[in-house]
Amino acid sequence: MLIERRWKKWVYFYIPLTLFVIGTLFPFYWMLITAIRPDSELYRSWRAVNNAPFWTLAPTLEHFRDLMEKTTFPHWLWNTFFIAVVSTIISLTCGLLAGYALARLRFPMAGTLGTSIFVTYLVPPTLLFIPLANIIRTFQLGDTPWALILTYPTFLIPFCTWLLMGYFKTIPKELEECARIDGATRFGAMTRIIFPIAVPGILSAGIFAFTLSWNEFIYALVFLSSPEKKTVPVGVVSELIRGDIYFWGQLMAGALLGSIPVALVYSFFVEYYVTGLTGSVKG
Amino acid sequence: MEKPIAGGSGSAAPLEVVLPRPGAQRAQPAAITRWLENEKLLAAVLLAPAVILLGLFIAYPFVMGVWLSLSNTSVGNVGEFVGVRNFVKAWHDSIFQTAFRNTFFYTFWATVFKLGLGMWLALLLNRNFRGKRIVRASMLLPFIVPTVLSTFAWRWMFDPTFSVLNWLLYRTGAITTKLPFLSDGVYGMWCAIVVNTWRGMPFFAITLLAGLQTINPDLHEAASLDGANGWQRFWRVTWPLLKPVTLVVVVFSVIQTFSDFQLIYVLTNGGPANSTHLLATYAYQVGVATGLLGEGAAISLFMLPVLFIVVWLQLRYLRRLEGA
């Protein structure tokens, strides 16, 4: 577009971008280096002369081994995975049906319902966790995965509905009309014609929902209490600190392992995730 | 947001000519199939699961939260109606006042930084360079990774004894004594703002980038031919076109930041001496840790007016867009 002088490109582009990259990624590097560093190196005075904090001379997997063998971390991984998958499936199903109805069907109160689903989308979990804890107790769901599987959809369904509704509106109505002329029922046209076309949208919503429920914290913190039933975020926070002592090597190993599954899912589906992210605000 | 009923399949109605339906009634009993042909009934069936779940776990808890906040319920103790006593008590509580001020302070500065840096990053990423895809993908990492876990990494970086940031600043000669990152209320609040900015900025950058990519490059070309420099082009061309998407992103971010819990819970847990609480963390401390459900519910309901105003503005803005 414009021809820029070389130094200008450095000052206005390369240097700021490099700083952004370093700033963004440094905490992750620090997580990794702490996780593979032996304890003797970890706790060394910050003014020690030969302190080399940015790398380690004796990398070790000790922290990872301790984490896997001496704590219930493997349980947490499984719990988080199970809860995230089931609540994502529930929310996708509800969101798919509701999104279709709001985008395509004519019925009284459609506008009001659409708006109220949008409003629930904006209700933060921190507003409701105290009464919800009471309700969970009443239903005797406390300390079971079902407490989370049933409450995570409260923030996932509005999001999925919103995203898929936007997606359905981009699919031409004529497709359904043709199918119905050919004899398909309304329901059949929806499940056999429209849903298959919406697969990219469903994938975006699903991936986004999965990462949201993997990362959820406050409900899991309040509703779960047994160590082996916790999810990764809650387990790392509450079980890896004994008394007042922080085992930083183990903590960082846990943080790293707990981040890898979402990071992997994300890296395989970057484009879908970004679509979900930008779609989540545009609708 | 378009009108939710814009789909209007009413035009399909006259087409309901009874034709022979090869295989249409395959699995479903004919009665149900015919029943579902009714648009209103089908809508009701499709919406039922979502509405029931949201009603049970959002609307009902909300009503219950209002009731709790007006009662003196505590764990294992069914309370009775006490009017607005919990709200009055919170309002005169000095920790609550600090938390209330902190929440606004935290939301304001974090949003300003996220918007400023996010916009800058979006503009950088909007250019063509080698490795663009991988840079863009890696910039989103802070947003993907569980906040609690990445905040732990920050907490370790802010550690009073082994802080790598202190080490860096000391080695470069910027400081001679350690900075009290998390052991001082004011520093603690700013540290939380830094971490929140770090985590939320990618969300701004990526959504704004999506907005930037819809801007026709010809507009920039034309502006620069007219002699506009980069700064002027940003304010006269990019910004006006980007304003709608920016507003929506800011609203989302304000809601999330204002109701933030996990970041403070991990970074400072409200300390030292309750100086870095936000409304949500203080509500947790009173409502869950201490077990005073009524008072906790009242504290978290103090978030409602602000959230209400933000949501209302958002809805009004969306309506106006529709009208235009």
Closest of A32, A67, A79, A48 to residue A224, by C-alpha: A79
Instruction: State yes or no: pLDDT of B9 exceeds 80.
Output: no
Per-residue pLDDT band at A4 (split at 50, 70, 90)? low
DSSP β-bridge partners for residue A157: none
In a domain, B109, yes or no: yes
Q: What is the mean pLDDT of the segment spanning B69-78?
A: 88
| Radius of gyration of the CA atoms of chain A, in A | 24
* Residues of chain A positioned with their CB less than 8 A from the CB of B170: 46-47
Rounded CA-CA distance A157/A94 in Å is: 7
In a domain, B318, yes or no: no
Q: Which residues lie closer than 8 Å to A227 by C-beta, 6 or more apart?
A: A72, A235, A239
Is A56 in CB contact (< 8 Å) with chain B? no
pLDDT computed for residue B29 by the predictor: 59
Nearest chain A residue to B160, by CA = A46
Q: What is the CATH number of domain A64-282?
A: 1.10.3720.10
Residue with tokens 């998390």: B182
In a domain, B75, yes or no: no
Of residues B39, B47, B120, nearest to A113 (C-beta): B47
* Residues of chain A positioned with their CB less than 8 A from the CB of B139: 20-21, 24
3-class DSSP state of A242: strand
Percentages helix, strand, coil for chain B (3-state, rounded to 5) are 70, 0, 30
Instruction: State yes or no: pLDDT of A244 exceeds 80.
Output: no
* Residues of chain B positioned with their CB less than 8 A from the CB of A254: 149
Instruction: Convert the pLDDT of each residue in A151-195 to its tens digit.
Output: 999 999 999 998 999 889 889 988 888 888 888 888 888 888 899
Instruction: Convert the pLDDT of each residue in B162-207 to its tens digit.
Output: 888 888 888 888 888 888 888 888 999 999 999 999 999 999 999 9
Of residues A13, A123, A233, nearest to B127 (C-beta): A13
Interface touch B153/A119, C-beta < 8 Å: no
The more confidently predicted of residues B25 and A233 is A233
Residue with tokens 């009284």: A108
Per-residue pLDDT band at A281 (split at 50, 70, 90)? low
Instruction: State yes or no: pLDDT of B136 exceeds 70.
Output: yes
Instruction: Provide the token pair at B23.
Output: 């295989």
In a domain, B323, yes or no: no
| Radius of gyration of the CA atoms of chain B, in A | 26
Closest approach of A184 to chain B, Cα-based (Å): 6
Instruction: Convert the pLDDT of each residue in A54-106 to its tens digit.
Output: 777 788 898 999 899 988 999 999 999 999 999 999 999 999 999 999 998 88
Closest approach of A115 to chain B, Cα-based (Å): 8
Query: For the purposes of burial, counting CB atoms within 10 Å of the CB of A282, is it exposed (0-12), middle (13-18) or buried (19 or more)?
Result: middle
pLDDT computed for residue A212 by the predictor: 92
Instruction: Convert the pLDDT of each residue in B267-300 to its tens digit.
Output: 999 889 999 999 999 999 999 999 999 999 999 9
Closest approach of A176 to chain B, Cα-based (Å): 9
Nearest chain B residue to A42, by CA = B162
Domain total of chain B: 1
pLDDT computed for residue B3 by the predictor: 37
3-class DSSP state of A10: helix
Q: Could you say which residues from 247 to 276 on chain A have a Cβ atom under 8 Å away from some Cβ of chain B?
A: 248, 251-252, 254-255, 258-259, 262-263, 266-267, 270, 273-274
Count each helix (H run) and each strand (E run) in chain B, helices first. 17, 0
Per-residue pLDDT band at A46 (split at 50, 70, 90)? low
Amino acid at B51: V
Per-residue pLDDT band at B39 (split at 50, 70, 90)? confident
Under the phi-then-psi rule, with left for phi > 0, alpha for psi from -120 to 50, and beta for the rest, what region is B184? beta
Rounded CA-CA distance B180/B207 in Å is: 35
pLDDT computed for residue B124 by the predictor: 94
Closest approach of A74 to chain B, Cα-based (Å): 16
In a domain, B93, yes or no: no
Instruction: Convert the pLDDT of each residue in A102-152 to its tens digit.
Output: 998 888 888 888 888 888 888 899 999 999 998 998 889 989 999 999 999
In a domain, B284, yes or no: no
Closest approach of A79 to chain B, Cα-based (Å): 15
- Cβ atoms of A96 and A164 within 8 Å: the answer is yes
Domain ranges of chain A: 1-35, 64-282
In a domain, B249, yes or no: yes
Domain extent at residue B157: 98-274
The CATH number given to whatever domain includes residue B124 is 1.10.3720.10
The more confidently predicted of residues B79 and B22 is B79
Is A105 in CB contact (< 8 Å) with chain B? yes
pLDDT computed for residue A236 by the predictor: 92
Rounded CA-CA distance B208/A274 in Å is: 12
